[in-house]
Structure 1
C-alpha cells in the first residue's frame, strides 16, 4: 500500500492528545508542502494561523471566558450544516455522535457528560498545536472547496509524519472572540480549527472509526468495458 493510500485509509479525527510538544520545523514542513494543494484559478484563498505555547493558551483563555458568559456561543459565522438536512445525512450525523459518546460510555440523556466532552473542542482536545483556517468573506463555494482540499492535505501530511489531527468547524461558534484575538482584518472570517499533535493511544475516544457508505452507494461507473 502506498504512503498516500495508507494515509487516506488510516487518518481519523483524534480527540485526545499527548502533552508531547511538536517541533516547529515539522509543522512548517507540513504546511509548506500543503501550499501545493489544488486551487481553482490558483487563488489559494486560505489564511492559516498556527498557535502553540503561550499564544495558544491565551486564545483558549479568552474563548473560555466568552463561553462562561455565553454558553451557547456568539452565533455561527456561517451555517455548519444546511437548515433542512436530508434524512440520510441526518442519520449519518446522528450515528457519528452516538458512536463517539459510546466510546466514553456517555448515555444519550447525559446532557452534562455530552456538554463536558463538547467543551473540549475549545481546548483543541489538549493538542499542543492549534491552527485556525480563515477565508475571505467575499469568496464563494468554489473557494470553500479549495479550503477543504488544503485542509485535507495538511491532515494527510501530518498523518504521514506520525502526527494526529482533528478538523473542527465548532470554532465558528466563537468566531468573534477568535477573530478579535487573532486580529484578523474585517474581510477574513474563521472557517475552522485544526488540532495537531501526537495521539493518546490509550484514550478510548481515539478508538472511534466512523462508518462510511459503500462504494456503489456513492459512485456510479459508466462507459467502462
Structure 2
C-alpha cells in the first residue's frame, strides 16, 4: 500500500503557529470570493455522522451597521445586562486557568495603556470589540439550540479550519465570544431565530501592524504540562 504524499509540513505548521487573535485591522477590503472559499474550506471539518452543524452569516454593510448601532446602544444602556445564553467559562476559576486568564487580560490592557480601575478605557476597548476591531469582514456563527456537546465540538473544528485557512491565505482573524453576551441585540439585528444559539463572531482582514494590541503573544504551555505518555 502506498503512503499518502505529505503536504508541505512547514507551510501548514507556519499557518498554525502564526495565527493570533488580531484586535486591530486595516480597512483594506477582502475579496468576497476568498471569503466564500474560506467557508468552503472550513466546512471540510469533521462532524459526527456528517451532521455539519455549523451556521455562518456574513454581514453586509447594512446588516453590520444595524448590528453595531444596536450593540453600542446596549453598551451605553445601564439597564442592559450582558449575559451569555451558554456558559463559556466555569462559574469558579481554578488554577492554572485563573492565572492564565488574568495574565493575558492584563498583558493586553498593558499594551493598550489601560490600567486597573480604568473603566472608561475598558469600555472603549469593549466598544471596539463590538465593532469587530475595524475588520472589513464580519461573520456571526450560530448553532441549532437542540444539538448536543458533540456538535459543539464539530463547530469548534469548523471555526479552527476557518482561522487556519484564512492565515494560509494571508489574512488575519479574531474569534469573538463577546457577541454571545449581547445575543438579544445580535438576534434582533440579524433576524436570528430563537432556535439558534449565538455562539461567536469572527473578524477577518489584514492586521494593523502599528496597533499596540497586535503585539500581544499569549504564552502556550509546553506539551508535557498537558500530556501523559502511557506505556
Q: Same fold (TM over 0.5)?
A: yes
- The number of equivalent residue pairs is 223
Q: Per the alignment, in what secondary structure is the counterpart of residue 173 of structure 2? A: strand
Are 2:42 and 1:34 equivalent residues in the alignment? yes
CA RMSD of aligned residues (A): 1.4
**Does structure 1 conserve the Cα–Cα contact (< 8 Å) formed by 2:135 and 2:204?**
yes
Alignment of 1:92-171 (within 5 A): 92-171=100-179
Return the match for 2:69 from 49, 57, 61.
61
Cα deviation 1:170-223 (Å, max 9, x = unaligned) = 101110111122212221110001011111011111010001111100112223
Are 2:14 and 1:6 equivalent residues in the alignment? yes
| Structure 1 pair 214–72 and aligned structure 2 pair: CA distance change class (3 A) | farther
**Does structure 1 conserve the Cα–Cα contact (< 8 Å) formed by 2:63 and 2:190?**
no
Counterpart CA distance in 2 for 1:28 and 1:19 is: 19
- Residue of structure 2 equivalent to 1:215: 223
Counterpart CA distance in 1 for 2:179 and 2:12 is: 29
Counterpart CA distance in 2 for 1:105 and 1:156 is: 30
Q: Which segments of structure 1 move beyond 6 Å, counting only runs of 4 or more?
A: none
Unpaired segments of 5 or more residues in structure 2? 1-8
- Residue of structure 2 equivalent to 1:21: 29
**Does structure 2 conserve the Cα–Cα contact (< 8 Å) formed by 1:56 and 1:129?**
no
Cα deviation 1:31-65 (Å, max 9, x = unaligned) = 11111111112111111001132321221112222
Return the match for 1:195 from 179, 203, 213.
203
| Structure 1, 47-56 or 142-151: larger mean CA deviation | 47-56
Q: Per the alignment, in what secondary structure is the counterpart of residue 65 of structure 1? A: helix
Tell me the TM-score normalised to structure 2 length: 0.92
